[in-house]
């Protein structure tokens, strides 16, 4: 029995939209139907998301974890009344199936398609014609960051039922036409968290990932933050962290385009550089001020100067390792 069969056998589904099994969330004891399960990989993988409280969410991908399940997802299963015995049996069966590393590598060469998310009804599309006061704040913020509103599809929120998502600039990403992840940027400094991400897993998601499939001879820049890419070019994908996940790496290997990693020039970027070298990726070491990111430098020096620095300082393998050691010394 896989995770989809176990959930369908134990959970009372209110309705379905063809992608999500819609339910009331027992984790936060929500009184409305605004949570759901979705399944991929022939029912072997599951994502659960609650639109009332994103912290209720979780995911289970046994081929990525050798069958083991996170504490958060165990809690989701338990709250839906699935017995501890059934949960342990599922984990045991999947560990037998996926625990062998050699078998895991054989079945796990291809990237996993990200799960489709439901578009929240409190998202407002951001355009040059947006008239609301906060929408105007978002447009001004993007202009300050040297980002053209026409190059990316942004949204924004105003007052919502979940205070954590109030008044945020929404940065989504799509796989083909499907929404697969999003994050909200606090541009007014009114929240504890500057960035708030949906709880759906990002292991198999890259921001702006449709660029992987575009047929062009132009190089594809891999950056840490979405704004780092957008202030330079639309030829980018962003990992939104300083680590490339195994799922993201598999997606990168599907593209026919030349991939150049452009890390932040700080200590967090060192890890991304090392990881990129280990996986055979080219890395740019632009001669820019230490402890800065790309967007900061574009605002200070201009787009053309930063692009010139990026493409004039690309290294790989041993040459990149030498540059990495020099950068470590500079950052001490």
Residue entry with tokens 């030498």: 322
Domain span at 145 = 129-196
Q: What one-character DSSP code corresponds to residue 180? A: E
Averaged pLDDT for residues 289-294: 94
**300-328 as b/e, with b when 16 or more CB fall inside 10 Å?**
eeeeeebbebbeeebbbeeebbebbeebe
Decide if 220 contacts 237 (C-beta within 8 A).
Answer: yes
89-98, 130-139, 143-152: least confidently modelled range: 89-98
In a domain, 122, yes or no: no
Query: What confidence tens digit (pLDDT) does each residue in 47-67 have?
Result: 888 888 877 878 888 887 888
259: number of CA atoms within 13 Å, CB side? 25
Same domain, 170 and 214: no
Same domain, 75 and 15: yes
DSSP string, 20-78: -EEEE-TTTT-SSEEEEEEEETTTTEEEEEESS-GGG-EEE-HHHHTT---HHHHHHHH
Query: What confidence tens digit (pLDDT) does each residue in 140-163 have?
Result: 999 999 999 999 999 999 999 889
Decide if 17 contacts 118 (C-beta within 8 A).
Answer: yes
Decide if 162 contacts 144 (C-beta within 8 A).
Answer: no
Does 124 score more than 70 pLDDT? yes
Query: What confidence tens digit (pLDDT) does each residue in 301-319 have?
Result: 999 999 999 999 999 999 9
Query: What confidence tens digit (pLDDT) does each residue in 227-279 have?
Result: 999 999 999 999 999 999 989 999 999 999 999 999 999 998 999 999 999 99
Same domain, 56 and 21: yes
26's tokens = 């027992």
Averaged pLDDT for residues 288-297: 94
Domain end position, chosen among 72, 107, 142: 107
In a domain, 124, yes or no: no
Query: Phi, psi (5° rounding) for residue 314?
Result: -100, 130
The burial class, CB within 10 Å (0-12 / 13-18 / 19+), for 60 is buried
In a domain, 57, yes or no: yes
What is the rounded CA–CA span in Å between residue 56 and residue 254?
33
Decide if 257 contacts 291 (C-beta within 8 A).
Answer: no
Element spanning 315, H or E: strand 314-315
Element spanning 304, H or E: helix 303-312
Query: What confidence tens digit (pLDDT) does each residue in 186-196 have?
Result: 999 999 999 99
Domain with 319 in it: what CATH number?
3.40.1360.10
Same domain, 241 and 323: yes
Domain tally, the chain? 3
In a domain, 219, yes or no: yes
Same domain, 240 and 317: yes
227: number of CA atoms within 13 Å, CB side? 21
Query: Phi, psi (5° rounding) for residue 320?
Result: -70, -35
The pLDDT mean for the chain works out to: 91
In a domain, 120, yes or no: no
What is the rounded CA–CA span in Å between residue 284 and residue 282?
7
In a domain, 7, yes or no: yes
Does 88 score more than 50 pLDDT? yes
Same domain, 218 and 311: yes
Same domain, 163 and 235: no
What is the rounded CA–CA span in Å between residue 3 and residue 68?
12
In a domain, 118, yes or no: no
3-10 vs 84-98: helix crossing angle, rounded to 10: 170
Q: Most confidently modeled of 103-107, 200-204, 252-256?
A: 252-256
């Amino acid at each position: 029995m896989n995770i989809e069969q176990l959930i369908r056998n134990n959970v009372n589904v209110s309705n379905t939209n063809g992608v999500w099994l819609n339910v009331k969330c027992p984790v936060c004891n929500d009184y409305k139907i605004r949570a759901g399960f979705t399944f991929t990989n022939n029912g072997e993988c599951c994502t659960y998301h609650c639109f009332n409280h994103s912290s209720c969410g979780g995911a289970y991908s046994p081929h990525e974890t050798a069958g083991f399940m996170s504490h958060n997802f165990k809690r989701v299963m338990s709250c839906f009344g699935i017995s501890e015995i059934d949960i342990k049996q599922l984990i045991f069966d999947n560990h037998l199936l996926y625990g062998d590393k050699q078998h895991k590598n054989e079945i796990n060469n291809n990237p996993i398609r990200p799960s489709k998310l439901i578009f929240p009804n409190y998202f407002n599309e951001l355009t040059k014609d947006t008239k609301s006061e906060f929408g105007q704040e978002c447009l001004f913020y993007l202009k300050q960051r040297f980002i053209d509103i026409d190059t990316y599809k942004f949204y924004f929120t105003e007052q919502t039922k979940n205070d954590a998502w109030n008044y945020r600039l929404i940065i989504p990403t799509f796989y083909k036409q499907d929404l697969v992840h999003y994050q909200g940027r606090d541009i007014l400094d009114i929240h504890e968290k500057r960035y708030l991400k949906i709880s759906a897993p990002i292991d198999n998601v890259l921001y702006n990932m449709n660029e992987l499939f575009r047929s062009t001879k132009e190089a594809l820049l891999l950056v840490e933050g979405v704004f780092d890419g957008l202030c330079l070019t639309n030829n980018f994908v962003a990992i939104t962290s300083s680590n490339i996940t195994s799922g993201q790496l598999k997606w990168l290997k599907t593209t026919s385009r030349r991939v150049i990693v452009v890390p932040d020039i700080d200590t967090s970027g060192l890890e991304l550089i090392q990881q990129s070298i280990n996986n055979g990726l080219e890395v740019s070491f632009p001669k820019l001020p230490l402890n800065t990111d790309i967007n900061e430098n574009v605002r200070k020096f201009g787009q053309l100067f930063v692009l010139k620095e990026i493409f004039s300082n690309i290294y790989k393998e041993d040459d990149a390792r030498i540059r990495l050691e020099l950068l470590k010394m500079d950052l001490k």
